Amino acid sequence: MLEKISPSLFMQLLGVKLEEAKYPRVRVSLEFNNQLTNPNGTLHGGVISSLVDIALGTALFQDRIVRGIATVELKVNYLQGITKGKITAEGEIIFRKNLMAFGEVHIYNDGALAAVGSATYRLSETQ
């Protein structure tokens, strides 16, 4: 069910690839890129938080009645720095009621857990 999602310009800028998406789950990935690092040479935390938002937003848009989303809150626990390799975000919407949704994402670096994130969304739906 990937036909509803086309990569945004922001996803393209970061180099994010959509690997799998079927509501309520999604998997996206990107390859480490030195242009996305902080002064310490590790992947910038903003890229990781963007992966959380991209993954959960993509999962929500797999539901045909979701017309729009707004991120209400986003949280990331950074567990280890990322300096190379493949970064994969696996997300799932775990709660949805009325116009509110909440999801969690696990971020892996070459298979090792590197961060855990969550986000809350306000939804708009088609009539």
Q: What is the pLDDT along the chain (127 residues), one digit of tens a residue?
A: 444 556 789 999 999 999 999 999 999 999 999 999 999 999 999 999 999 999 999 999 999 899 999 999 999 999 999 999 999 999 999 999 999 999 999 999 999 999 999 999 999 987 6
Residue ranges covered by each domain of the chain: 9-125
Domain over 9-125 is classified CATH 3.30.910.20: no
What whole-number distance in Å separates Cα of residue 52 and Cα of residue 120? 11
DSSP helix/strand/coil, 25: strand
Q: pTM of this prediction?
A: 0.93
Give the CA count within 13 Å in the CB-facing half-sphere of 99.
12
Sign of the CA dihedral running 10, 45, 56, 84: positive
Sheet holding 100-109, edge to edge: 17-22, 25-31, 86-97, 100-109, 112-125, 66-78
